[in-house]
């Protein structure tokens, strides 16, 4: 856990919280409290059920008192993990609501300026045309080549300055290639909306030359919408991946901590209860 905490960039975290979490603090707190209440109810229901099944009853006085401590233990475990579930769910909920704003920020600071006007669009498409003329037998796919081309065009202090003090800088630095790949998918889908990721990865240079010709006739606004849609989908995929992973991790730990009372009870039945309450042997 310490290595994850040490890896956190707190300045970027604060920028992210300030821009996206704080404006949605009402929803953020609501989901956390709702999950805690649900956890409390579930703990009460489970404790009542286990109590009626005599899971907390022992045959020795002091041991019986000790067993009763499992009741508040279960309550604390449920409240803690419910709070964690609520924390992660509320974060995921808020970020999904802010997906459009995050997408707009990433788009505006990366490929967005290329389509700010008809002239910029033509210049950008011309530069992409150069990629398709370099080597039609390159080992890279067209998508990979274009990603490299756009990243090279955007390299230098311009992009650094764009993301300075930006809440999206972490996303850009960690998922730079994915963002540019999504931009390429958006370019292609601006012409062919039925194109899938598989067909886009296999597109060859001759097909892409034809694509550029068609793109030249598409309004910059439509290209922007297509690219932003793909970036938005990529962000959602990334968020869902981490959200599901964290929730599964927390669920496994919840089951682990809830198993302790049952393990102790099985030990009691197997070794202690029989030992202290031997069956009477008829004479």
Task: Calculate mean pLDDT across residues 137-161.
Answer: 49
| Structural tokens at position 140 | 């890279």
**For residue 9, what pLDDT is reported?**
54
Which residues, including other chains, have CB under 8 Å from residue 191's CB and lie 6 or more apart? Answer: 211, 214, 215, 218
pLDDT, averaged across the chain: 75
In sequence order, what are the residues at sequence separation of 6 or more whose Cβ sits closer than 8 angstroms to the Cβ of residue 265?
Answer: 55
Asked whether residue 145 carries a pLDDT value surpassing 50, the answer given is yes
| pLDDT tens readout for residues 210-233 | 776 777 777 778 888 888 888 888
Q: What percent of the chain has pLDDT over 90?
A: 25
* CA-CA-CA-CA torsion sign (24, 25, 31, 32): positive
4, pLDDT greater than 80:
no
The residue ranges of every structural domain in the chain are: 12-98+239-276, 101-236
Residue 159 pLDDT exceeds 60: no
| Distance, CA of 112 to CA of 106 (rounded, Å) | 8
pTM above 0.75, yes or no: no
Find out whether 97 and 23 touch, Cβ atoms under 8 Å: no
**What's the pLDDT score for residue 13?**
60
Long-range contacts of 193-198 (CB under 8 A, 24+ apart): none
Residue 135 has pLDDT above 50, yes or no: no
pLDDT, one tens digit per residue, over 55-98 is: 998 888 788 888 999 999 999 999 999 999 999 999 899 888 88
């Amino acid at each position: 856990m310490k290595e994850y905490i040490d890896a956190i960039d707190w300045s970027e975290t604060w920028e992210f919280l300030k821009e996206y979490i704080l404006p949605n603090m009402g929803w953020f707190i609501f989901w956390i409290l709702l999950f805690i209440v649900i956890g409390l109810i579930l703990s009460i229901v489970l404790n009542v059920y286990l109590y009626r099944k005599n899971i907390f009853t022992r045959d020795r006085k002091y041991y019986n008192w000790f067993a009763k401590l499992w009741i508040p233990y279960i309550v604390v475990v449920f409240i803690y993990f419910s709070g964690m579930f609520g924390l992660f769910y509320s974060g995921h909920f808020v970020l999904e609501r802010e997906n459009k704003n995050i997408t707009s920020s990433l788009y505006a600071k990366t490929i967005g300026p290329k389509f700010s006007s008809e002239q910029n669009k033509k210049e950008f498409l011309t530069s992409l045309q150069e990629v398709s003329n370099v080597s039609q037998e390159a080992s890279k796919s067209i998508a990979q080549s274009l990603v490299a081309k756009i990243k090279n065009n955007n390299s230098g202090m311009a992009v650094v300055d764009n993301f300075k003090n930006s809440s999206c800088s972490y996303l850009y630095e960690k998922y730079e290639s994915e963002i540019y790949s999504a931009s390429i998918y958006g370019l292609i889908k601006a012409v062919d909306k039925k194109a899938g990721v598989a067909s886009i990865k296999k597109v060859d240079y001759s097909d892409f030359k034809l694509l550029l010709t068609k793109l030249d006739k598409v309004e910059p606004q439509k290209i922007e919408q297509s690219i932003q849609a793909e970036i938005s989908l990529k962000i959602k995929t990334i968020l869902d991946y981490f959200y599901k992973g964290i929730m599964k991790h927390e669920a496994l730990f919840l089951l682990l901590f809830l198993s302790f009372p049952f393990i102790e009870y099985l030990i009691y039945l197997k070794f202690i209860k029989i030992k202290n309450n031997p069956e009477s042997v008829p004479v």
